[in-house]
A and B are shown apart, each in its own frame.
Chain A
Amino acid sequence: MTIRNPLRDHGQRYRPRIACLKKAEKVLLEMQDLKTGVKSQPQRLVITTIPHAITGEDIISWLADRFQVDTQEARSFGSMLVALGYIYPLQDHKRLVIKPDASLYRFQTPYFWPTQQWPVEDTDYGECDGSRSHFISHPVTNTYTFPYTIKAIYLAKRNIRKKGILELHEQEHYNRLHKWMNHKWDFIVMQAKEQYRAAKERKKPDRVVFDCQERAYWVVHRPPPGTVSAMDYGLDRLIDPNADEAKTPDFYARIMIFTQQSIMRPRVKSSVSIGALVKYCATYNSHDPFLSKCLPSNPWLTDDVTYWTLNMPYVEMPTKMRVERWTFSFAELLSDPRGRNDFRLFLKKEFSGENLAFWESCEDLKWGEAATMSEKAEHIYKTFLARGAPRWINIDGKTMEITVKGLKHPHRYVLDAAQTHIYMLMKKDSYGRYQKSPVFKETVKKAICPEEHHFTDAQLEQNAKKRRPSLSPIILRQMEQEQRAKMAATVDITQLCRFTTPVPHLAVYSGITDFPSANASPSLPFLAHSPACPSPISVALDSTSASERRVEAGEGEGEGNPAAQAAAGGNVSKSRMALSLHRLLKRGCTPATMFASLSPKCHSAAGTSSRIQPISPDQPSQAPPRRIGNFFQIKVDIPPECRIYPIESEDEDEENRAASRGGVGAKEIICPWESLTPQNGTG
């Protein structure tokens, strides 16, 4: 077996138009065999009899016998043959289906077979011999408009025979063709007349047969409005993928890149990959609507859309099958919107929702618009990655380094390493716990298992009549956006850690959460939960840089807590939290304004001073002012009081600088890609 063009087509295998036609022809030739084919009977008309009529039930039983399939499938196959135009019904000629009763059909003459409509263009496809290649396809003769000429002749002929016989849509076609091919109209009318006269030369029964044949041909190729045509084959190929390509430098460059990538591809032993395939098939076998039953019923077969309504993306109660799919792999869970919601709920209870939020925001960055990319990247950094970020995620130092370096020149995939890390973290850790959690168990219990439908034929016809188009994708997208906006409107700041700046617009990534109530009461629970929320202190402890620890320690000392250096980050956080909350209570601000003012992007918070300040302006000594240079600092243009916890530089002489600067309450988180200017008090 040779593989033609193994490199050049790059997976674009030759796809002939409706490849099933050739196979259908073979079947048809078998069917019409006098000895082994479908048995035929004469059709009795008023005046004459015409031979070679076959009944629907004979066709179906022959097909079932020949292919060893059940009656239903034979019936579908027979209907396909009729829809393609190889067999035509003698009664009820507009409905191209096989009826399993004594209704009559006849074989179509090869002249009207569907493969015959592409005589010239298809010369180079398939197993053709070179002799045909000299049939030139004329731009003049224009094989695309030619079928319309023939159709015009046909309609004119029918009109000649009996005026007013054309149906409405045919009438419209006729008028349109007349307008379009006006210059040929004389010819068309003359040709119609001549064809009509030539037909009169034939014997009566033959004339009837020919009329039937022609009518059937046009029903197949120009179906009446409201019917489905089997001849729809999608887009026409403009080029032949197997044709010879010009050998330009670009062509060779493409081949070189392709081969280099092929060399670099990781390899897997075939036993391993086959094993994976087998496992996949075994797992998904019962979930595949082709291979097993689809509960309640397959909408494509029964025209009943219950299956789709039950499996909408954000449905309240998922089906059992869907929930079972979530247990197959973590990717399945995340890719199903309902599953993701469930998982988010679980993580919320576990207070590690920021992982999923980060992952989602990375996805958004990867697949989003290019225009907003750098803002998104900046935002993600400020929200998740920066030291003291409101929803700080726990990734190791190396990854953080890579990410931050990449963020200087942000592109779509800059957060890939971090995203993968978080994904693996969730998969290895949270996913397992999720499957044992009460949230999941509840979902499983509530999942519905719909009853299978058993429709009778009459009901099936009813369903077919009631077919309606589904919701427009525009409406679906609007619904999705509304959903997202709803989710975004409720941010959960119980998830946020002490150095929190709850950001309303950040809520896109935060999932469904409760609006923060007054902070006073949750203070203690906050403190209790703070270990779950990785504070910068714990990061400092994780990280290898000594200076940071020192700085932290310095700040901790500054705050009056000498235990900063200890591993008990909780103490420090407790103290800081207490301090900040104390300040909050003192000032008695409303949460709303406070939170609003704490937004990193909030410029208008000039008047209100923030209540939660990790580092108070009273302790200027540990305000390490902004160091210029190769560092990732988020610059935020907000008044001093509103500044969030700064990012310290890893520089060794940070401390000194910090000491020297002094008096600056301005802490800024500056993004690495923004131009940095030395801090001053007002920022």
Chain B
Amino acid sequence: MPLVNNKVGDDCTVGTDKALVDGKAQVDSLIKVVACYRHLASYVGGCTDSLQLRDELRQTREKALTLAVSICNHLTSHLRNKSLPEGQRKEMELLWVAFSSSLELLHVDMCKVFNISDIFSLANTDALVQTGLQGGGSEVAARALSLPDLNLAPNPTLSAGLESQERSTMEQEISQMDHMIDDMEMKVNVMRWMVEPHGPQYAEVLSSSDSASLALLSVDEEQPGHQPPCQRSHIHVLLLLFAVVLVAATLSVCIIFFT
């Protein structure tokens, strides 16, 4: 009997382990998508705002929502399972917290994009704010959708119908998210103060190679307004050098000439 029990237990734990791993993977990808969505959202209303960007936003949003729905079902079913062992339950709750926070982030970003697209309609490109950005969000979107390359079909021309259709879809999606969040809270009772995180307080430094962008910023800071004179001084130095080289060359030519 114990053997049988163990076996059942093993199956159970194996099952939930797999479920945990699954859930973790899904939550991770949701977090990634949400992060990418945020980056894309910062393009909206700026000078690089375009139909393509909106399209990318839409796709990212859809991906996020599908992920969210599946995680929701997954986690809800597992957390409502009373026979879940304690350790697993804790892990699930951690995932739950991460999931709900990502949903909040996504909700906020979606609302922001909705508001901004209200103010900035693509029909009037003059009104788009000159933010200094040059590139579009294609690479970020590609990362979000986990596609190596984002090959979008050329978009149809902008029409009023398209924009309002977009708006209504967005509204629907936002309300869908609202309901999902509400449902979540109704169905599963996770006490947030009981959840303990695993990770360290400070995340480890990911890479130092990107200090280049920091360097750009710091250079900017240290020499406020000094850029033009600095470059001018570089040019002066170069000219001086050039002049010295010239003089040396003529001198040597003269020497050769006279000897």
Contacts and interface: CB of A to CB of B under 8 A. Distances in A.
Given A183-B193, A194-B32, A52 B131 contact: yes
B166 interface: no
B130 A52 contact: yes
A51 interface: yes
Contacts of B97: 183-184, 186-187
A131 B31 CA distance: 29
Interface in A31-65: 32-35, 40, 43-48, 50-53
Given A110-B46, A204-B213, A146 B197 contact: no
B104 A146 contact: yes
Size bracket, chain A contacts = 35 or more
Interface of A: 25, 28-29, 32-35, 40, 43-48, 50-53, 90-93, 101-104, 106-112, 115-116, 119-120, 131, 134-136, 138, 140-141, 146, 149-150, 156, 159-163, 165, 175, 178, 182-213
A208 to B, nearest CB: 5
A104 B201 CA distance: 37
Contacts of A45: 216, 219-220, 227
A59 to B, nearest CB: 13
B192 A183 contact: yes
Interface stretch (B64-72, B112-120, B238-246, B251-259): B112-120
Contacts of A91: 220-221, 224-225
Nearest to B94: A186
A198 B32 contact: yes
A30 B34 CA distance: 33
B120 A110 contact: yes
A446 B37 CA distance: 72
A115 B212 CA distance: 33
A103 B28 CA distance: 43
A616 to B, nearest CB: 85
A209 B206 contact: no
Nearest to B227: A44
A159 B101 contact: no
B81 to A, nearest CB: 22
Interface in B99-131: 100-102, 104-105, 107-108, 111-112, 114-116, 119-120, 126-127, 129-131
B38 interface: yes
Interface in B27-43: 28, 31-32, 34-36, 38-39, 41-43
Contact of A149 (B28, B105, B139, B211): B105
Given A52-B130, A110-B45, A208-B216, A162 B225 contact: no
B140 A194 contact: no
Contacts of A110: 44-46, 116, 119-120, 129
B119 A202 contact: no
Contacts, number: 242
Contacts of B216: 45-48, 204, 208
A159 B203 contact: yes
A603 B182 CA distance: 75
Contacts of A29: 127, 129
Given A161-B205, A186-B97, A209-B133, 9 more contacts: A46-B219, A101-B225, A110-B120, A111-B42, A111-B112, A119-B114, A134-B171, A186-B198, A187-B97
A93 B193 CA distance: 38
B180 to A, nearest CB: 11
A156 B31 contact: no
Nearest to A142: B104
Nearest to A45: B216
Contacts of B105: 149-150, 191
Given A46-B219, A111-B45, A182-B196, A191 B102 contact: yes
A140 B213 contact: no
A188 B199 CA distance: 10
Given A51-B132, A110-B45, A208-B217, A195 B35 contact: yes
Contacts of A198: 32, 35-36, 38-39, 140, 143-144
A50 B220 CA distance: 12
